[in-house]
Amino acid sequence: MNWLKNVWYVAGFSRELDGGQVVDRRFLDTPVVMLRHSDGRVAALEDLCPHRLMPLSAGTRVGDELQCGYHGMRFRIDGLCTLAPGQTHMPSQACVRSFPLSEKHGLLWIWLGDAGRADVDLIPDIRWNDHPDWTPSRGYHHVKANFRLAVDNLMDLGHESWVHLRTIGQGHEECIPNYPVKVSIEGEGLLKAHREMPDIDAPPFFAMVLNHSGPINRWQTAISLAPSICMTDFGVYPVGTSADDAYRSHVCHLLTPETEESSHYFWSVARNKRLDDETLTQDVCEAITQTFDEDTEVLEIQQAQIKKLGGAVPRVALKVDEAPIRTRRLLDALIKREQEDPTFVYRPALMVDDATPALQMELTRR
The domain segmentation of the chain, as residue ranges, is 8-121, 126-365
Q: Given this model, what pLDDT does residue 164 score?
A: 80
Please say whether the dihedral angle defined by the alpha carbons of residues 38, 43, 44 and 49, taken in this order, is positive or negative. Answer: negative
Q: Given this model, what pLDDT does residue 351 score?
A: 76
Q: Given this model, what pLDDT does residue 331 score?
A: 97
pLDDT class of 29 with cuts at 50, 70, 90: very high
Q: Given this model, what pLDDT does residue 362 score?
A: 40
Per the CB < 8 A criterion, the answer to whether 237 and 319 are in contact is no
Distance from C-alpha of 281 to C-alpha of 238, rounded to nearest angstrom:
21
Would the CATH topology of 8-121 be identical to that of 126-365?
no
Which residues touch 182 (CB under 8 Å, ≥6 apart)?
A: 193, 194, 195, 364
Judged against a pLDDT cut of 60, whether residue 216 lies above it is answered with: yes
Q: How big is the chain, counted in residues?
A: 366
92 or 260, higher pLDDT: 260
Distance from C-alpha of 235 to C-alpha of 250, rounded to nearest angstrom:
9
Judged against a pLDDT cut of 70, whether residue 106 lies above it is answered with: yes
Which of 26-40, 328-342, 343-357 is least confident? 343-357
Q: Given this model, what pLDDT does residue 353 score?
A: 63
Judged against a pLDDT cut of 80, whether residue 365 lies above it is answered with: no
* Of the candidates 331, 349, 354, the residue with the CA atom closest to the CA atom of residue 122: 349
Per the CB < 8 A criterion, the answer to whether 346 and 7 are in contact is yes
Residue % of the chain over a pLDDT of 90: 82
Top-confidence range, 10-24, 77-91, 338-352? 10-24
In the three-class reduction of DSSP (H, G, I as helix; E, B as strand; rest coil), residue 19 is classed as helix
Q: Given this model, what pLDDT does residue 37 score?
A: 97
pLDDT class of 361 with cuts at 50, 70, 90: very low
Judged against a pLDDT cut of 50, whether residue 254 lies above it is answered with: yes
Please say whether the dihedral angle defined by the alpha carbons of residues 144, 150, 152 and 157, taken in this order, is positive or negative. Answer: positive
CA dihedral 270, 149, 296, 346 (to 10 degrees): -30
CA dihedral 210, 152, 1, 312 (to 10 degrees): 150
Q: Given this model, what pLDDT does residue 140 score?
A: 98
Per the CB < 8 A criterion, the answer to whether 209 and 271 are in contact is yes
> How confident is the model over 190-208, as a mean pLDDT?
91
The pTM of the full predicted model, rounded to 2 decimals, is 0.93
> How confident is the model over 196-208, as a mean pLDDT?
89
> How confident is the model over 183-203, as a mean pLDDT?
92
Judged against a pLDDT cut of 50, whether residue 7 lies above it is answered with: yes
pLDDT class of 176 with cuts at 50, 70, 90: confident
Architecture of domain 8-121 in this structure: 3-layer Sandwich (2.102)
Q: Given this model, what pLDDT does residue 355 score?
A: 59
Per DSSP bridges, beta strands 247-259 and 229-238 are antiparallel
Per the CB < 8 A criterion, the answer to whether 336 and 169 are in contact is no
> How confident is the model over 41-65, as a mean pLDDT?
97
Distance from C-alpha of 156 to C-alpha of 295, rounded to nearest angstrom:
12
Distance from C-alpha of 57 to C-alpha of 66, rounded to nearest angstrom:
8
> How confident is the model over 227-236, as a mean pLDDT?
95
In one-letter notation, the amino acid at residue 118 is A
Taking every pair of Cα atoms in the chain, the longest distance, rounded to a whole number of angstroms, is 78
Q: Give the CA distances from residue 255 to residues 169, 178, 214, 224, 246, in Å, rounded to whole numbers and listed in that order.
A: 22, 28, 35, 11, 28
Judged against a pLDDT cut of 50, whether residue 327 lies above it is answered with: yes
Superfamily of domain 126-365: Naphthalene 1,2-dioxygenase Alpha Subunit; Chain A, domain 1 (3.90.380.10)
* Of the candidates 162, 308, 287, 154, the residue with the CA atom closest to the CA atom of residue 225: 154
Helix H or strand E segment including 330: helix 322-340
Q: What is the mean pLDDT of the chain?
A: 92
Judged against a pLDDT cut of 80, whether residue 58 lies above it is answered with: yes
Judged against a pLDDT cut of 90, whether residue 363 lies above it is answered with: no
Per the CB < 8 A criterion, the answer to whether 190 and 351 are in contact is yes
pLDDT class of 15 with cuts at 50, 70, 90: very high
> How confident is the model over 115-121, as a mean pLDDT?
96
